[in-house]
Amino acid sequence: MSDQPLPEIRPDVPHGARIWNYWLGGKDNYAADREIADAVSAVFPEIVDMAFKSRQFLNRAVRHLAGEAGIRQFLDIGTGLPTMQNTHEVAQSVAPDARIVYVDNDPLVLAHARALLVNTTPEASPSTSTPTTTNRNASSSRPRRSSTSPGPSA
């Protein structure tokens, strides 16, 4: 995890991650986010359905990889705000020993991930990253418990 200070949360300024959270039925959004989200969905009504279908695809892919493919390590890049059926929840529902590293370049997302994961599984950890630091951070942000055989990752 990073020792960066928590970002200032501006509820009066719409934020992309909170807008997406709203479309997915999450609770981590404000009136400014909902206003913009509703305006976008008024001109592009398919966006909400697309958000759900995107999440459903992620869940199917993770479930398949953890189950049928036997993957036990996951790297979730561009994770966004936690909503429903997060990667660690889906993977660990199939394989309780699955380990997950969440990576995002948004400090707001990292703050939420820290809060979400503080009292959950030790096999999931958040990391902040930019396109040029993803590989470095993914390799240094290991879940708190390590495996003797790293195996394949997804």
Q: What is the pLDDT of residues 21-54, one digit of tens each?
A: 999 999 989 999 999 999 999 999 999 999 999 9
Rg (CA), the chain: 16
Q: Which residues pair with 153 in a beta bridge?
A: 73
pTM for this prediction: 0.76
Domain boundaries, the chain: 16-140
pLDDT tens-digit map of 89-137:
999 999 999 999 888 888 888 887 777 777 666 666 676 655 445 455 4
Residue 42, token pair as written in the block: 């008024």
CATH topology of domain 16-140: Rossmann fold (3.40.50)
Q: Identify whether the C-beta of residue 45 lies closer than 8 Å to the C-beta of residue 145.
A: no
Q: Which residues pair with 73 in a beta bridge?
A: 99, 153
Look at residue 46 and give its three-state secondary structure. Answer: helix
CA atoms within 13 A on the CB side of 68: 5
